[in-house]
Amino acid sequence: MLRTKTRETRPPVTDKASNTPDHVSIKPQRMGFEFDGRVPRYWLDNNYLLSHTMNALSVLFPEGEQFFVDAVRAFRGQIQDPKLKEEVRGFIGQEAMHSLEHIAMNQHVRDQGMPVEAMERDLKVLLDAVRLLPKRHQLAVTCALEHITAMMADLLLERNDIRDDMDESMQPLWVWHAIEETEHKAVAYDVFEQVGGTYVERTAYLVVSTAMLGVMTTWFTGRMMLNDRSNFSLTGAAKGLWRMWGVNGAFSSLIPSWLEYFKPGFHPWDKDNSELIANFKAKIEQHIAPQYQNGNRRTLQ
C-alpha cells in the first residue's frame, strides 16, 4: 500500500485563498468509457449487494455533481485569488466530465432493467428542495459531500483489495473518478472559506448531508435489489454488508476521516495524498478513448 503523508505545516487561511498544493493540477479530461456486454451484472466482488450499492452511487452523480457546480459557480464573482479562480474552472470542468461518464454507466444500469429515470426524478426533487436554502448553505452542503467523496476516493486509491474486487471493465472509471476527486477535493472548501463560511455551517451540514446521502443511496439500492429480487442471496447480502460495515469495511473504515471534518481549522489537504494521484495518473491515461486523447474537454462553464 502506498503511504500518504500528513502535512506538518500549512499556511493559515488568512487570505481565504487556495490551499491546493501547487503541484496538483485540476484539469478536466473526457475519457469516453464504454459499458457493454463485457461488464458482468455483479461487477464488484461478484456480489449482488455491493454491485447494486455502487450502481446506486453512480445514479446519484450526474444530478449531484450539477448541484455542486451550481453551488460553487454562484460565488465565482467573489473569488479574488487568481489561483483559486483557475481551480474553480477546473472543478467545474471535472464535474462535467464525471457527469458525462456516469451517464454512460447509468445507461448500462438502465439496460439491466433498473428504474434509473424514476430514481433521478426522486433525487431532483430532493436537490430542488436543498436549492431553496441560502446560497452559502448550499455551498456548505457541497463542501460536506465533497469531503465524503474525497474520503471514498482516497480509500479506493489506497486499498488494493477494493480495486482488485472490481471487474476490469469497471475499474478504470472509478479509479479515474477517484483521481479527479482527490485533485479538486479542496476547491469548494476554499471558496466556502473565502466567502465567510462558518464552522457551525460546515459541520452541521456534514451531519445533514451524510444523512441525506445515506437515505438516498439506501433507497436506490433497495429499489435495484427489488427489481433484481430473483437473484437475491441472503448469504451474498450478508457478505456485502460485512464488506461495507464490518471490521476494516469500506464504509466503516471511513469513520475516522469523516470525524476529522469537525476539527477547528480542518482543511482537506491536511492529509496530503497527492502521491496517490501521481501513482495512478499515467496508468489511467491509457484508458482515454482515441477521440479524446487530444484533450477534448467540454466543460460546464
pLDDT at 300 over 70: no
pLDDT band at 7 (very low <50, low <70, confident <90, very high): very low
Confidence of residue 15 (pLDDT cuts 50, 70, 90): low
- Alpha carbons 60 and 184: distance in angstroms, whole number: 19
- Is the distance from CB of 251 to CB of 245 less than 8 angstroms? yes
Q: What mean pLDDT comes out for the span 219-231?
A: 94
Q: What letter does residue 13 receive in the DSSP assignment?
A: -
pLDDT higher than threshold 80 for residue 223? yes
Half-sphere exposure of 125 (CA within 13 A, CB side): 7
- Extract the C-alpha cell encoding 31: 475519457
pLDDT at 295 (0 to 100): 63
The number of residues in the chain equals 301
Whose CA is closest to 154, among 264, 285, 269? 269
- Ranges of beta strands (E only) in 128-261 are none
Q: Note the pLDDT tens digit of each residue in 188-213.
A: 999 999 999 999 999 999 999 999 99
- What pLDDT, in 10s, does the model give residues 90-111? 999 999 999 999 999 999 999 9
Is the model's pLDDT at 251 over the cut of 80? yes
At residue 45, the pLDDT reads 95
Q: Which three cell numbers stand for residue 278?
A: 501521481
Cα distance between residue 97 and residue 173, in whole Å:
11
d(CA 194, CA 178): 26
Would you state the pLDDT for residue 298?
Answer: 46
What Rg do the C-alpha atoms of the chain give, in angstroms?
Answer: 19
Beta strand spans in the chain (E): 5-6, 271-272
Whether the CB-CB separation of 295 and 32 falls below 8 Å is answered with no
> Which whole number is the average pLDDT over 156-168?
95
